Amino acid sequence: MDLPVTIKDVARRAKVAVSTASSALNGKPYVSEKTRLKVIKAAAELDYYPHLVARSLARGQTKDLGIINPIPIEAVFSSKFFLQLIKGMHDAAFKNSYTLSLYIVNNEEEAITQIRSIVKGRSADGLIITNPTIKTSYLMELKKCSFPFVLVGRPPEDEREICYVDSDNVMVSYMALRYLIKLGHTRVAFVTGPNKFTFCIDRLRGYKLALEEAGISYDENLVLECDLSEIDTYCTVSRALNGKIKFSAIFATSEIQTIGTIKAIKDKGLDIPADIVVGGVDFSLTYLQPITVTVDLHPYDLGYLAAEMLIKNINNENSRKTKILVPADLIVGDSIPVYNGKN
Amino acid sequence: MDLPVTIKDVARRAKVAVSTASSALNGKPYVSEKTRLKVIKAAAELDYYPHLVARSLARGQTKDLGIINPIPIEAVFSSKFFLQLIKGMHDAAFKNSYTLSLYIVNNEEEAITQIRSIVKGRSADGLIITNPTIKTSYLMELKKCSFPFVLVGRPPEDEREICYVDSDNVMVSYMALRYLIKLGHTRVAFVTGPNKFTFCIDRLRGYKLALEEAGISYDENLVLECDLSEIDTYCTVSRALNGKIKFSAIFATSEIQTIGTIKAIKDKGLDIPADIVVGGVDFSLTYLQPITVTVDLHPYDLGYLAAEMLIKNINNENSRKTKILVPADLIVGDSIPVYNGKN
DNA sequence: CTGTTAGCGCCTTCAA
DNA sequence: TTGAAGGCGCTAACAG
């Protein structure tokens, strides 16, 4: 490692005081152009670069955002989704001269420990919590000490004043369902996850809304609730296909669930979309398996906006806005057979 | 934010000097048990937690590892692979009390800028570079200043003394090919990426090795080189399927390429595995599309070992070991038709 | 406009 | 075994 060059060296070479060098380098308006030039020249000649940790200590801010994902990373609904989310955060952070630290924990317990350590150790200026669950114990922790944080995903209703960014999940399924209904489907099965996830609650609401609007009565037998795994979805959908409840289309609320659904349909010897039309959310494998409709949640935007919002909170520039909804887009597949009433 | 409690407060409450409090808290052996207890008690009562940035400055180390991915994150061979890699790094880092910072850049240019900023700003103690490309300009940067770093992926041959962790890529394809050959296939197409990636070079070597061992002559027409995208793979494989070169099995060297390959086969109206047997690497969609054989690269282990190696380098505990190969595992599908000579 | 002084919070010699 | 003092590198308040 080269001998580190400090601002002292720069000051000496430019023949000014350390504080002057600092002011010059940081663009303080009161520094004369002449000295500024001298300092900048000296810094360049020495290839000076500020010691970021020292700066953090002096300024009282780390310029770092922590990301905490309180569920097992394997359980993340889609790896691609998650990576895009992070990429979005990164870009917003980078643009504002922040860095990103990643804290991977497996459950709420660990999340609390981690949060406490970050908050009290002041190793980040703010926190982004992805995949928040209903267990809000760790939110308490944060609110208690008024540490800036933003959720990606809607918190439970009773959590007021919590900043979050989320898809408009009611719209997500509403749009997809409306589309399927337009194709002629009146009996659309709805594959969703546990109601402890707010996004599942919202998407079910959208599902009902679309039915209602179309004058189709809601049949709770068509709602297939399973956990968010491929295997459980597979079993549940298989059971439904073998049951007496009939449906001509099926809509799954996550990529993982869409995969499980497709598998169940195929193993039953049915064709997609001839025998049954499939809709999904956040399904990125359309190249391998086209489906009639899917919804793009724009994870990049979710991440970008979350980081941006957090940075505003940190700088107290937030206009008391506590929620941002990112509109989702309907992605319509190539071959959309209008339902002919069979099935 | 609560008023931050510093070590001064702890010292005052324990009625000792600051330095004594520090020594006690950091487990220095010369502190008497009595004072240690007093200090620990005081710290607990005040809910003291050290200011990590201040500690970093004083100790001259950040306890943070930077991760740099010098290719577009969309181009990462598999999101799942990448996430598992990160998870492995995280666990190794966490175990050793390090944190992880993620730097996402889109190309080598940006990588260089980012690296310089991290190294000179001393905002990390070491760097892990994933998906290293042949362009080694940024490696120069690092070697020049002797900053600890580790690659995930083999560097070019001429780069000696560079620490890296990688799969044994020769074995990867060797194993898979040997398996396919055992099933009776003598003409196996090999879908691979540009030769500028070391892993492609190595895997081609393994392919040849397996053929050679089985006494099958190498036919370069069976090597389908395309870029690492689904679409290019699709086109290349489609062309091959329509061409006059015949093969009964096909082996693709990444998840993305496996997807493109499968798609091409299906669009041609062929059945997998009845008409053509497919092998892949790092293919995680076997649930949706079973294939005869795939290779698990154990990305978690790759990440874990890379981070561990880096930490050892940082602490000068490395026994001059510069390379770690992680053995891959063959994953054999359920239905493995022994090739009957047709096709 | 520039330089002096005083921290940021912690750790580490070095005396006592 | 403890404590006083100095320093990590940078920034900010205040004189001048």
Helices (H), chain B: 7-14, 18-25, 33-46, 52-59, 79-95, 108-121, 137-144, 169-182, 198-213, 230-242, 255-267, 299-314
Confidence of residue B133 (pLDDT cuts 50, 70, 90): low
Tell me: do B93 and B202 sit in the same domain: no
Find out whether A136 and A159 touch, Cβ atoms under 8 Å. yes
3-state SS class at A248: coil
DSSP A104: E
DSSP B16: S
Residue B57 lies in a domain: no
Rounded alpha-carbon distances, angstroms, from residue B172 to A224, B127, B129, B199, B254: 41, 27, 22, 10, 11
A50 touches chain B (CB under 8 A): yes
Tell me: do B304 and B291 sit in the same domain: no
Nucleotides of C under 7 A from a protein CB: 1-13
3-state SS class at B92: helix
Tell me: do B275 and B317 sit in the same domain: no
CATH number, domain containing residue B16: 1.10.260.40
Confidence of residue A51 (pLDDT cuts 50, 70, 90): very high
Tell me: do A77 and A156 sit in the same domain: yes
Find out whether A282 and A257 touch, Cβ atoms under 8 Å. no
Per the rule left: phi > 0, alpha: psi between -120 and 50, beta: everything else, A5 is beta
Find out whether B303 and B89 touch, Cβ atoms under 8 Å. yes
Find out whether A338 and A183 touch, Cβ atoms under 8 Å. yes
Tell me: do A163 and A192 sit in the same domain: no
Residue B90 lies in a domain: yes
The count of structural domains within chain A is: 3
The Cα A98–Cα B140 span in angstroms is 26
Cα A266–Cα A269–Cα A275 angle in degrees, nearest 5 = 85
Contacts of B217 (CB under 8 A, 6+ apart): B211
Tell me: do A179 and A289 sit in the same domain: yes
Confidence of residue A195 (pLDDT cuts 50, 70, 90): confident
Tell me: do A70 and A136 sit in the same domain: yes
Closest C1' nucleotide to B57's CA: D8
Q: Which domain holds residue A35?
A: 7-50
Instruction: Tell whether omega for the bond before B273 is within 30 degrees of 0, i.e. cis.
Output: yes
Mean pLDDT over the full length of chain A: 91
Residue A340 lies in a domain: no
The reply to whether B15 has its C-beta less than 7 Å from any atom of strand C is no
pLDDT for B127: 96
Residue of A nearest to B50 (CA): A121
Residue among A19, A163, A88, A96 at smallest CA distance from A311: A96
| Cβ atoms < 10 Å from Cβ of B21 | 28
Chain B residue numbers touching A79 (CB-CB < 8 A): 78-80, 82-83
B202 touches chain A (CB under 8 A): no
B288-329 pLDDT, tens digit each: 899 999 999 999 999 999 999 999 999 988 777 789 999 999
| Cβ atoms < 10 Å from Cβ of B184 | 14
Tell me: do B174 and B80 sit in the same domain: no
Confidence of residue B71 (pLDDT cuts 50, 70, 90): confident
CATH number, domain containing residue B311: 3.40.50.2300
Find out whether B134 and B115 touch, Cβ atoms under 8 Å. no
Confidence of residue A64 (pLDDT cuts 50, 70, 90): very high
Contacts of B32 (CB under 8 A, 6+ apart): none
pTM above 0.75? yes
